[in-house]
Amino acid sequence: MLALALAAGLALLLGAGVYLLDRPAGSAWLIPAAWQAAAPGTWFGQVGPWLPSFTHAFAFSIFTALLLPPRVGFGAGACLT
């Protein structure tokens, strides 16, 4: 269970990395404009536009599966919805 929680947390950090490194200043509320000047360029390439959406859905389905009781199919159901 710890490995799943760690994987979900790392996925959220990866999604946040897109906002920190690839998105223009002002696209995320808490990220200052000076951050983009420190890390110029495109870091995530063509996957950058959709990666935060994927990592958000992936991570929260894992967190939901971890919170459900350990019954057969509950984890898979959490990830499918």
Give percent above pLDDT 90 in the chain: 27
Range of the domain at 43: 2-80
pLDDT score, position 22: 82
Q: Give the pTM.
A: 0.75
Mean pLDDT, residues 27-42: 69
Long-range contacts from 9-18, C-beta under 8 angstroms, 24+ separation: 9/59, 11/55, 11/58, 11/59, 11/62, 12/55, 12/56, 12/59, 14/51, 14/55, 15/51, 15/52, 15/54, 15/55, 15/56, 15/59, 16/52, 17/43, 17/44, 18/43, 18/44, 18/48, 18/51, 18/52
Q: How many structural domains are present in the chain?
A: 1
pLDDT score, position 11: 95
46-57 pLDDT, tens digit per residue, is 898 899 999 999
